[in-house]
Chains A and B, each alone.
Chain A
Amino acid sequence: MVETPEISLVAILPELALTVGAVVVLMVAVSSRRAATYLPWIAGLTVAATGAGLIAQYNDVAANGFSVSYAGMIVLDNQGIVIRTVMLAAIAVALLVGWRYVTGLGTRGGEALSLVFLSAVGFMLMASSIHFMLLFLGLEVGSISLYVLAALGQRAKRADEAAMKYFLLGSVASAIFLYGVALLYAGTGSLTYLGVFEFFSGDTLVFSDGLLSAGVALLFVGLLFKIAAAPFHSWAPDVYQGAPAGIVGYMGAAAKIGAIAALLRFVQVPFQSVIESIQVPLAAVAAFSVVLGTLYAIVQQDLRRVLAYSGVSHAGFLLMGIATGGVAEVQVLFYLATYVLVLVGAFGIVSLLEGSGSAGSPIENWKGLGRRSPFLAWSLTVFMLGMAGMPATAGFIGKFGIFTRAWSGDLEWLVIVGLLASVAAFFFYLRVVVAMFFEDGDGKTPKLGWPAGIGIGLTLVITVGLGLYPTPLLDVLTAALG
């Protein structure tokens, strides 16, 4: 008989909660005329239930240590819990700042909500997967939901084009990834992280096997595409510019969380013993992303494209931490957590100014916002400074942590490249700030509802709070991952 694999409910509790939430949202949306009044409650309950699931997981790990279930496919450990918590925080903030978008979709608001939950399920599974097949499934569940979310807005040519590009290029990337998995399996005979790890640690010079090396390369390419690392970033600016403003911040955040979670585990387990062979290409992609993202961002005239290219360079900074191997895991997670929240918050402000279904946001529109809406202008200033890595924001701590780790990890040249790029980046981050406070314009005056206000305020507090006093979070992360 084939053995029944161990089924552990607690290992997938957050994903279960989100799936149930997604299904309930759909049911209510089709069955009730007053669905719109129930949606906030269901969304809130789902987020709360997911949080409760995470707490249960944390207690379980605290009591029993990490555990593997589902025939070696899923691991329940603190690192996964941290990443899922980041994901949940991103959902919460995204729904708060983007709630107007969800309600603005009318009857399709429920669909958008359930797709947000389902995409989170996919990316959360990527964080707990220790099996390449499950990783691919998570990637697909997450990505497909995002493709649809990109297309769900009001019918606008640019939005359609963005969604179509995202779908086609994303599918190609998924195919590349899958081919990489196939070649990896052909080379190692295993689909589990542990199996691949054992294969590699038996013979550290396996990279002489060309097919296997090609497989590993394709595997990474697939994920690098998802985090928009150069040169696999070309979709990002068009999608960030064209997709509905209310949701695009979440889209960028979710894909980065899932793929970074997977890449982090890659260097920790399956490819740990061959880290020297993959370090140079990863560092090269990191450097390329940081430099290219910064250079491109400098010439942009549209805030959404600026944010897209800055996302490319942030992918580079995250990769810098990953290229050091497992030693920078705390720093990578800190960076990831603070970056995605700021990204969601910044796009929330974009959607408040431009309308949640809008495409594009020329710098021109931001002129004089400091006078029209001081709260939003100040918030965006803090978010921009946070992304730039200004001291007293969480972004500085994140960058500093990754730089110091990379420096001690013998990637000095990469740190210098990163440092120079991050200083040059101030140029474009500050451009919108200068436009808001120092240039006059009479664009729209955004209306700030209380959900968006809470979401933005929360992000603000986290960005500045962790910038001034990051020690508690760093301690928690160090203890959890240590």
Chain B
Amino acid sequence: MLSIILLHGLLALGILSARRFIGRYAFPVAVIGPLATIGWAIWRAPGIVDGTPRVERLEWVPGLDLSVELLVDGYALLFVALVGVVGAAIFFYSAAYFRPGPRVPLFAASMVAFAGAMLGIVTSDHLLSVFIFWELTTITSYLLVGYDDRSAKARSAALHAAMVTGAGGLAMLGGFVLLADAGNSWLISDLVANPPGGAGLAWLLVLIGAASKSAQAPLHGWLPGAMAAPTPASAFLHSATMVKAGVFLVGRLSPAATAETDWWWPVVLTIGVATMLVGGWQALRQTDLKLLLAYGTVSQLGFLFLLAGSGIPALAYGAVALVLAHGLFKSALFLAVGAIDSATGTRDIRRLEGVGRSLPWVFATTVTAAASMAAVPATFGFVAKEAAFDGLVGEGTGLVAIVALASVLTVAYTGRFLLGAFGPATDEPTGVDQIGGWKVWVPFGLAGAGLVLGLVPGLVKPLVESAAVAISGDAAGKLVVWPGLVPALGWSLGSLAVGLSLVAVPRAVDAVTAAVATVTDRGPSTEGAFRAGLTGLLGGADRLTATFQSGSLPTYLATIALAVVAAGSIPLLGELGGVELPSLGPAIEIPLALVVSISAIGLLLTRRRFAAVILLGGVGYGIAGIYAANGGPDLSLTQILVETLAIALFALVLRNLPADFDRARASIGRILTSVAVAGFVFVAGLVAVDSRTAPSVAEYYVEESLPSAAGKNVVNVILVDFRAMDTLGEITVLAVATLGVAALVLPLLRRKQS
């Protein structure tokens, strides 16, 4: 399997690299991937169906315990087959659907990369690789939805889908990590075999991730938006495969989750039922065939989520059968809509007319697939739904009744779909062009497969049974053409009949949905919530940037200074309590300190550069005086020398600068920052003076200067003898600095001369 996944990656890379030459061969090349998948599935199916999962293990980085772990059991095989069959069909269809253009190879590459990622999700046993492939499908889906890059709507829909499923993926990743930690293994097979206890949060996070990917209410808003993708992508990703990833995952994990938590099944049930009803209801209101199908998909996904997430063998059996059925009929319907769209130029049910007469094969396809969707007997949709109802009957009448209600909606929107596509137009009708080739026969084939399986379900029975056994340990259901007179049949035929009666009164249904809509549309929508959230996030990031990353040097300095104060003052303040104030030195210190302080304050207030330089000198000379008063004449002399030199240099520079500073703005923030920094330095000084515990190293230097180094000038000896290495280093720094200054200044001087 690993080689098949890699093959998909290579095909995608190859098509992208050769995008200039590949032209119309992009899809014929891409289809190699799904065909190889089908070949692999047929080759491996006998062994897997017999109950021996195919395990592939590749030691990747033993030092980090990284390995690639693939496990293909019956459950995974079902999805592998679905990806392969639907994928191959859709690639053939796409070859006819797209007019050759520069962006078509991008589409083909994204699709084949997606197919590979999807195979990765369903065959990975390692949670991390599940996650990686999961996010790869998000990325490829983003590219496919945003394929029409000139359409702002498509780009925005792509972003919406990517953000919701991406964020869900993040939650899921958090859940995976917690799960792996609790169960002490990254392998799904281990975690399902020995479910870790006490990992409630982990299960919840995983559930959120799965629900976002499978468009469960209230996160379902992205899926209708994703219909901005070209129809083949919608058929492949947004109905047959990607949106089933969440269903796949809860199906895999629900036995363990229900064993370890008592809330999992009620929560999944609530989500599933809400999604079914919301999707079905919304589908009844759509006028765009594709959107109608999209909401129908939402509704079906709710049903699948409920069944697969139950952890109950009988329901799991229904889930796997329905996954297969839904994949076949929904992709057929999407592709048929694509064919209608390209023949008429519209998907609006108010304008379509005469399609059935002009395109009889498309009509036949659509009716067959729609019958499967509505679970009309003799279709595979009926067979699968019977299996599901059969399981549900055992779980209580209330539950069956709710599902039956959703089925009524399904029948109703199926009718609306058929009438809309082939019935009379209410608006200005469109013409119908003739189309043929793959565009007609691929959906026909998919729909026909549903019909054949509806009559001979035994063809896929081993596959469905081994899938059910793989997740629930039991094949607690049956696939039969006619179940006999059982309660399940009553429920399904009953909902069919009620649904059909609704179809008979379309105007009444429209009136009711419109009336309800006036109320419900006023409430918050997921789309609106997403927009508001996104605007808030980007706006917040922008404001953050504008405040802290304004490019203003004072702001940067203030940020760093405050961080330093925060880091340094926490330990310092604790010391402050025991500090003894240093005793006052000679009396002359008082006037000197006054000079320093007054000069410093004046420095802040003056607007004249020259005055500022003089006042700066005042600070320096005052400090030199304090040195002298405390018995350090040499230090004092050095300080005076440096100050004088600095003033002279400043005076030279000042000739080239304006006489006044720019008007400084004294904001509260700046004043507080200054006070904080000054306070920090003051406290540090106070604590430092008080904290000497060891004798000064100076005494050692003074003592040893003459005997060890034969020098009478202690400062010199320290520089060139005791700390000679440091001095060498300092000289090096100075040399580098000089070099740098020269490199920067000399060219300017040269330019001035010439």
Which chain A residues have a beta carbon within 8 Å of chain B's beta carbons? 1-2, 5, 26, 70-71, 73, 108, 111, 114-115, 118, 122, 133-134, 137, 140-141, 144-145, 147-148, 151-152, 161, 164-165, 168-169, 172-173, 176, 183, 186, 189, 207-214, 217-218, 220-221, 225, 231-232, 234-235, 237-238, 281, 295-296, 298-299, 370-371, 374, 378, 391, 397, 400-401, 404, 407, 412, 415-416, 419-420, 423-424, 426-427, 430, 434, 437-440, 470-471, 474-475, 478
Contact = CB atoms under 8 A, between A and B. Distances in A.
Contacts of B135: 423, 426
A470 B66 CA distance: 11
A238 B571 contact: no
A232 B143 contact: no
B555 interface: yes
A407 B173 CA distance: 15
Q: Which label, helix, strand, loop or mixed, suits the secondary structure of the B interface?
A: helix
B743 A108 contact: yes
Q: Most chain-A Cβ atoms within 10 A of its Cβ — which of B63, B538, B555?
A: B63
Given A218-B567, A438-B146, 5 more contacts: A186-B688, A211-B691, A231-B563, A371-B19, A419-B174
Q: Most chain-A Cβ atoms within 10 A of its Cβ — which of B61, B559, B721, B726?
A: B61
B729 A211 contact: no
Contact of B64 (A1, A73, A404): A404
B354 to A, nearest CB: 38
Interface in B56-112: 61-66, 103, 106
B736 A299 contact: no
B544 A296 contact: yes
A426 B139 CA distance: 9
A368 to B, nearest CB: 10
A186 B739 contact: no
B181 interface: yes
B726 to A, nearest CB: 5
Interface stretch (B231-239, B373-381, B545-553, B605-613): B545-553
B556 interface: yes
A235 B556 CA distance: 7
Interface string B688-725: 10011010000000000000110000000000011001
A299 B139 contact: no
A195 B743 CA distance: 40
A239 to B, nearest CB: 11
A401 B64 contact: yes
Top 8 closest pairs, chain A to chain B, by CB: A148-B740, A210-B575, A213-B571, A137-B729, A234-B556, A210-B571, A217-B567, A214-B568
Interface string B303-320: 000000000000000000
B740 A207 contact: no
Contact of B545 (A73, A114, A296, A478): A296
A231 B177 contact: no
A397 B61 contact: yes
A237 B545 CA distance: 11
A168 B553 contact: yes
Contacts of B556: 165, 169, 234-235
B575 A298 contact: no
A412 B182 CA distance: 12
B654 interface: no
B508 interface: no
Interface string B440-483: 00000000000000000000000000000000000000000000
A235 B569 CA distance: 24
5 contacts: A2-B722, A108-B743, A137-B726, A148-B740, A189-B694
Nearest to B129: A391
B694 to A, nearest CB: 5
Contacts of A427: 166
Contacts of B736: 118, 122, 140-141, 144-145
B500 interface: no
A438 B150 CA distance: 11
A114 B20 contact: no
Interface in B115-166: 129, 132, 135, 139, 143, 146, 149, 166
Interface residues of B, number: 76
Nearest to B149: A439
A430 B143 CA distance: 11
B236 to A, nearest CB: 19
Given A232-B560, A296-B545, A423 B173 contact: yes
A430 B139 contact: yes
A211 B557 contact: no
B744 interface: yes
B143 A415 contact: no
Q: Which label, helix, strand, loop or mixed, suits the secondary structure of the A interface?
A: helix
A218 B139 contact: no
Interface in B202-251: none
Contacts of A115: 739-740, 743
B8 to A, nearest CB: 14
Nearest to B748: A155
Contacts of B744: 148, 151-152
A198 to B, nearest CB: 15
A91 to B, nearest CB: 17
Contacts of A397: 61, 64, 66
A221 B173 contact: no
Contacts of A26: 739
B17 interface: yes
A218 B564 contact: yes
A424 B174 CA distance: 13
Given A232-B560, A438-B106, A137 B694 contact: no
A217 B737 CA distance: 27
Contacts of B564: 176, 218, 221
Nearest to A415: B177
Interface in B503-548: 538, 541-542, 544-545, 548
A420 B174 contact: yes
A342 B371 CA distance: 56
B560 A137 contact: no
Contacts of A281: 567
A467 B732 CA distance: 40
Contacts of A114: 739
B568 A437 contact: no
B560 A211 contact: no
A183 B691 CA distance: 11
B687 A210 contact: yes
B127 to A, nearest CB: 12
Nearest to B688: A211
B16 interface: yes
A172 B688 contact: no
A262 to B, nearest CB: 15
Contact of A1 (B684, B708, B725): B708
B541 A296 contact: yes
A118 B541 contact: no
B729 A134 contact: yes
B496 to A, nearest CB: 45
Contact of A234 (B146, B549, B687): B549
A145 B106 CA distance: 46
B563 A221 contact: yes
Q: Most chain-B Cβ atoms within 10 A of its Cβ — which of A147, A391, A401?
A: A391
A74 to B, nearest CB: 10
A473 B172 CA distance: 32
B560 A172 contact: yes
Contact of A173 (B63, B542, B548, B560): B560
B747 interface: yes
Contacts of A437: 16, 106
A242 B17 CA distance: 33
Nearest to A207: B571
B662 to A, nearest CB: 16
Contacts of B730: 137
A427 B337 CA distance: 33
B553 A165 contact: yes
A127 to B, nearest CB: 15
A419 B173 contact: yes
A172 B740 CA distance: 18
Contacts of A434: 143
